[in-house]
Chain A
Amino acid sequence: MEKKGWDGFEIGAMLRSFDGATQDIATTLPENRPYSQSNSFTASVADWRIEKPLFNKEYCIDCQFCWIYCPDMSIISRDKKMVGIDFDHCKGCGICVQVCPTNPKSLLMFPEQKDEEAALAEWPKKEKKADAEVKED
C-alpha cells in the first residue's frame, strides 16, 4: 500500500474544497472553479424554502444591495449587473426583498411552487413605499 504524506489524509480529516490548481481563486468566478465533491457548493438547501424570491429585471437599478446583504451567496451578479438568483443555495430568508430600494421592488417573495412567468405577469405596478419599519415579534 502506498504511504500517505501529511497532505494525503482521507476526506474527513481534511476537506478539500477544490480539485486541481487553485491559485488566485479569489478572482475566479464560481462557473470557472474546479469544485470538489466536498465543497458545500455542490450541495443544495433548496428544500429549506417555503417562499422564494423572484427577480423582475424591468425595475432593477443594479444597486447591488441584494448582493451585499444576501447571507447565502445566492444573488448572482456579473459585470456589476444583477442577473439572477441561485436557487440551489437560496434559503428564502427574504433579506434581498427587504433591502431592494426600487418602487415597485425588483425582488418579491412568492410561494415556492409559484410559476415565474405568472409572477412577472402579476407584478405590482407601484407599491406604497414601506419605510424602514421593523416587524414586532
Chain B
Amino acid sequence: MSEMKKIKNLKEFSTSADRFEGANLLCPGCAHSIIVREVLNATNDDLILAASTGCLEVCTAVYPYTSWDASWIHIGFENGSSAVAGAEAMYKALKTKGRLKQPDRTPKFVAFGGDGATYDIGFQWISGCFERGHNMMYVCLDNEVYANTGGQRSSSTPIGASATTTPAGRVSYGEKRNKKDMMAIMAAHGAPYVAQVAPNKWKDMVAKIQKGFEAEGPVYINAMSACTTEWKFAPEDTIAISDLATDSLVFPLYEIIDGTKLNITYRPKNIIPVRDYLGAQGRFKHLFTKQNEYLIDEWQARIDKQWDYLQRREEASV
C-alpha cells in the first residue's frame, strides 16, 4: 500500500495539482466538477476512471478534447461500474501473474455515474460489481434528475420536485414518489464502506474518500450535486444551496461500515427548516401556494423522521 496523501487543512490541500481540466463544457457553477476535484485530489496515486453517460461524461470528452489527466473510459449509460470493474479484474490478474511492470504502484479504480445511471439504468451492473467484490469506488453524482437530457425525473427525484416528465401544474404538484434510499440498498450488499457526502463539506468528503480508498472491496459514495440548471438557482449559489441541504438535514452526512455500523459524520449547529431549502430552488416554487403548502409540512415530517432513524441506528451501533 502506498501512503495516504496527508491533507490536514485546506491550505495544505490547495497545493494539489488537479488531474481534471478546465474548458470542459459543464455549466458554470456545476457541482459535478467540484465533487470530481475533491475525489481526485484526495490521492496522488494513479487513477483508472470511468464515467457513465451523463453531464460529466458528455461535457469532459468532447472531440477532439479530453479533460482527464488519467486513464479514463466511457462505454455506455449503464456500465461505468463494469468498465472499471473489468479493468480492476485485469489488473489483479496481471499482478497475480507477476506481469506488472511497476507492481508497487497502487492505482485507484473509480467510476462516476449520475443518479439516472445509478438509481435506475445502471443499477443491476453496480449491484453485480458489488456482489463480485471488486476493489473499486463507485461515485454517484446525485442531482436528482436526468440533467443531461433535459431534466426527466429519476427514482432519485424527491416528492414535489417539478421535472420535465413530472411537471407541476394545475392538476399536479410534480414528482409523486419519494426518493429511493440508495445508501441502504448499497449497504445491504455488505460493502465495506458506504457514505453520503456533499462538496460544501469538503473535509468530511475528502476523509470519506480516503477511507474508501483504504477499504478493501467495493465502496459506494452518494454525492449530493446541486444542479444550477435543473434545480433552478443562480450559478453562484451552488455552495449556498448545498449548505442549505446539509444544514436542513435533507442530505444528512453519514457512513455505513460493513453494512452494519452507521455513523453520523456531520451534525449542524443550527438545523434550519426544510422550507428554507425548498424555497431557494425554482423546482419547488409551486409548493409555496395555498393548495400545495401541506406538502412542505410533510417534507419536514419526513426529514425529521429520517434524522431520528439515523440517530437511533447510530446509537444502537447497527
Q: Which residues of chain B (97-122) have a CB below 8 Å from chain A?
A: none
Residue-wise, chain A 13-40 has the 8 Å CB interface mask toward B (1 for contact) of: 0011110001011111110010001111
How many Å lie between the Cα of A29 and that of B244 in the bound state? 34
Q: Given A68-B10, A98-B239, A137–B17 Cβ distance below 8 Å?
A: no
Q: Which B residues touch A112, using CB under 8 A?
A: none
Cβ contact within 8 Å between B15 and A77: yes
In the complex, A18 Cα to B14 Cα: how many Å? 23
Interface centre among B22, B65, B69 (most CB of A within 10 A): B22
A residues in contact with B65, CB < 8 Å: 15, 38-40, 43
- Residue A95 CB within 8 A of the other chain: yes
With A25-B17, A40-B24, A71-B33 known as contacts, the answer to whether A93 contacts B235 (CB < 8 A) is: yes
B69 contact from A39, A68, A133, Cβ within 8 A = A39
CA distance A98 to B236 in the complex (A): 7
| Nearest CB of B to A111, in Å | 15
Interchain CB contact under 8 A, A40 and B279: no
Please state if A12 and B23 are interface contacts (CB–CB under 8 Å).
no
Chain B contact residues (Cβ within 8 angstroms of A): what range? 35 or more
A72 to B31, CA, bound (A): 10
B12 within 8 Å of A (CB atoms):
yes
Interface mask (B1-39 → A, CB under 8 Å = 1, otherwise 0): 000000000111111111111111110111111100110
The one of B17, B38, B237 in contact with A26, judged by C-beta atoms closer than 8 angstroms, is B17
State the Cβ distance, A33 to closest chain B Cβ, in Å.
8
B282/A137 in contact, CB under 8 A: yes
A42: chain B residues within 8 A (beta carbon): 23
Interface residue? A55 (CB, 8 A): no
Contact B22 A86 (CB under 8 A): yes
Q: 11 other contacts beyond A26-B17, A69-B200, A89-B21, with CB at 8 A cut-off?
A: A26-B16, A33-B69, A38-B66, A40-B22, A40-B65, A64-B11, A72-B22, A72-B24, A73-B22, A95-B236, A135-B234
Q: Which residues does B use to contact A, with CB under 8 Å? A: 10-26, 28-34, 37-38, 43-45, 60-70, 199-200, 202, 232-241, 243-244, 276, 279-282, 285
26 examples of A-B residue contacts, CB within 8 angstroms: A26-B16, A26-B19, A30-B18, A39-B65, A40-B62, A41-B22, A44-B23, A45-B22, A48-B28, A68-B202, A69-B199, A71-B33, A71-B34, A72-B22, A73-B18, A73-B22, A73-B37, A80-B15, A88-B22, A92-B28, A93-B29, A93-B238, A94-B29, A134-B233, A134-B241, A135-B234
